[in-house]
Chains A and B, each alone.
Chain A
Amino acid sequence: DADVTQTPRNRITKTGKRIMLECSQTKGHDRMYWYRQDPGLGLRLIYYSFDVKDINKGEISDGYSVSRQAQAKFSLSLESAIPNQTALYFCATSERGRIMNTEAFFGQGTRLTVV
C-alpha cells in the first residue's frame, strides 16, 4: 500500500460544483502539503499544514480551502470549481528536520477536470 494515498485518482466535475480531494498518510509525518501541477509550470504550493488544525496559505491558495482534522489526513476543497482549476493535484508529507529541511513524499496524484 502507498504511504501517501489520494482519492479520487480521477474526477470530472462541472463548473460551480463543490469538490473535495482527500489525502491520507501512514508515514506518521506532521507536515502535509497540497500542490498542483500544470503543463509547463511545474508544481506550485496551494496550502500546507504543520500539525492538526494548523493551516497556512501557499503560493496559489485563492479558490481553495483545506482541512486538517487528524494528523494522517489533509483534504483540499474547491468551493466552486472553475475550468482553470483543471490540473493534476498532489498531496505530500514530510517530517520536521532536526537540523535542516528534509525531502517530501508525494501521493500518486488526482487528475481533476472542470468542464
Chain B
Amino acid sequence: DQQVKQNSPSLSVQEGRISILNCDYTNSMFDYFLWYKKYPAEGPTFLISISSIKDKNEDGRFTVFLNKSAKHLSLHIVPSQPGDSAVYFCAASAAGGGNKLTFGTGTQLKVEL
C-alpha cells in the first residue's frame, strides 16, 4: 500500500508563476514531512521540511503547508524559475522510526519560459 501519494506525475508552470505540488499520506504515525528535489543523474537533495506541530514552514521561495486533518501537504514555489525544473519527492517519517523515509512517487515539474 502506498502510504505517501503524489497523484500528479507531472506539472508544467510558466516562469514567474506559482508552482503547487501536492502530497497525501495515510499513516497517522507520520510526524515529520520533507520535500526533496532530484535532477537527472543526481541524488535527491533536501529542500524543506515540516513537523506535525506546525502547519506552515517557509524558506525563501519555498513554503510547505501541512493539513493534518486532511493528511495532506503541499509545496509552493513562488516565483517559479527554470532551474526549479526537476522531480520533486514528498517523504514522511514517524517518531521513533529512526529517520526512515517513506517516499511518494514524485512529480516532474517543468518551468517554462
Contact = CB atoms under 8 A, between A and B. Distances in A.
A92 B9 CA distance: 24
Interface residues of A, number: 29
Interface of A: 4, 31, 33, 35, 40-45, 48, 50, 56, 58, 90, 92, 94, 96-97, 100-109
25 contacts: A33-B100, A33-B101, A40-B9, A41-B105, A42-B6, A42-B103, A42-B104, A42-B105, A43-B91, A50-B98, A56-B98, A58-B100, A90-B43, A92-B101, A100-B51, A101-B31, A101-B32, A101-B93, A101-B94, A101-B97, A101-B99, A103-B34, A106-B43, A108-B43, A109-B42
Interface of B: 4, 6, 9, 31-32, 34, 36, 41-46, 49, 51, 89, 91, 93-95, 97-106
